[in-house]
Amino acid sequence: MARLFGTDGVRGVANADLTAELALGLSVAAAHVLAEAGTFEGHRPVAVVGRDPRASGEFLEAAVVAGLASAGVDVLRVGVLPTPAVAYLTGALGADLGVMLSASHNPMPDNGIKFFARGGHKLADELEDRIERVYREHASGEPWDRPTGAGVGRVKDYDEGFDKYVAHLIGVLPNRLDGLKVVVDGAHGAAARVSPEAFARAGAEVIPIATEPDGLNINDGCGSTHLQGLRAAVVEHGAQLGVAHDGDADRCLAVDAAGNEIDGDQILSVLALGMREAGTLRGNTVVATVMSNLGFKLAMEREGVGLLQTAVGDRYVLEEMKRGGYSLGGEQSGHVIVLDHATTGDGTLTGLLLAARVAATGRPLAELAGVMKRLPQVLINVPDVDRSRVGSSARVAAAVEEAERELGETGRVLLRPSGTEPLVRVMVEAADLDQARTVAGRLADEVKSALG
């Protein structure tokens, strides 16, 4: 039986994989598991519930709220807000649980449920496993122990969440953005109101695009997965930079004044040097994943900044940051975690801090991001292979060793089995794009032949 929880909550096609019944049942199960773990002991439990603008979020929110209230949890419904806003409010309001309904950068028909523990942190894997186990037990017929009378949860809208979150963002900025013109692409998603408002309150002149969600247009040709509109708008309006979010605004990518993409590795480079200068880069170290561009690693080495790399996924970055007490980490995709101010990736905060660095230094974003040179990176997905054997095949190991010898210190090879599909991802970086393509193609052929 497939596990419901993935690396970022439960996701699927809304009303097909992710039904109202599933949303309700998981919410009740979460309440019972947290109660058993002692989270609610000695007080009446409270949950913060938010969503992105997807049409399906309306009925899924109703199901989640019903499930929590039926289990005796009071609910503060914050409406359409980014995932990091729900995480922040969970902590700031002293809530016992946060729930976000979003499928992030996925297309509109998808949706998802993500739970946050007290303080706004992602639930531990073992708690997710217990929630899933309890849900399945009761879905098969075991009745719930339900409160009655005054024991049922009460539901109210918490309209102050928007202003409270924006005030938090402005409050942590090291300097204002006066004099900057910034294009903000809201992906017709959860940050469509929040991000332009935050930039404006910080002093920037804001040109908003893709900030008119209708429930159906989220991530549709816009946002961090489709930067063409942002590039064009930045050049057209003569802006110093542009930022783009995904549907739930836990990530941020940027473009410079010429419309060139600034990815998550480059954003981390800029923020790392700024934080080191300010004395806030704890351990003088950045945490990133194995998918970070080799150019990022070389830049940090040259600048004397330590780099720790984890498995792919922002949850693994966050775990390493907490373990080592580090303050900055993230992914090439634009998930950037500034742990002093957020418990998860926060796209609006990332964009604000990047713009603040431009304003404080008076240097163009392209110049700041030029601290690292992105090496050409080629990624090939090899389908229909036995991904479980990628680490044990002698033929594959020999091919990787040969490729690494050929590339030397200016290149890198990474083979990674997909966590959800029967395929292996072959990634090659080299100083020369043609060499990267040649080596990646040869490796992909070997993987197909050895594991197919």
- Please calculate the CA angle 214-215-219 and round it to the nearest 5 degrees: 95
The reply to whether 263 sits in an annotated binding site is no
In sequence order, which residues have a C-beta less than 8 Å from that of residue 100 and are 6 or more positions away? 9, 49, 50, 51, 83, 86, 87, 113, 114, 116, 248
The reply to whether 246 sits in an annotated binding site is yes
Q: For residues 48 and 86, is the Cβ–Cβ distance under 8 A? A: yes
According to DSSP, the residues that pair with 337 across neighbouring strands are 329
How far is residue 5's CA from residue 416's CA, in Å, rounded to a whole number?
Answer: 20
Report CA-CA distances (Å) from 210 to 90, 147, 191, 192.
28, 44, 10, 7
- CA neighbor of 104 nearest in space, from 329, 313, 352, 382: 313
The reply to whether 185 sits in an annotated binding site is no
Residue 70 designated active-site? no
The amino acid occupying position 241 is L
According to DSSP, the residues that pair with 184 across neighbouring strands are 208, 243
Residue 129: enclosing H or E segment and its boundaries? helix 125-139
Catalytic residue among 104, 195, 224, 333: 104
79: left (phi over 0), alpha (psi -120 to 50) or beta: left
The reply to whether 96 sits in an annotated binding site is no
Q: Indicate the annotated binding residues for Mg(2+).
A: 104, 246, 248, 250
Q: Indicate the annotated binding residues.
A: 104, 246, 248, 250
- Catalytic center residues: 104
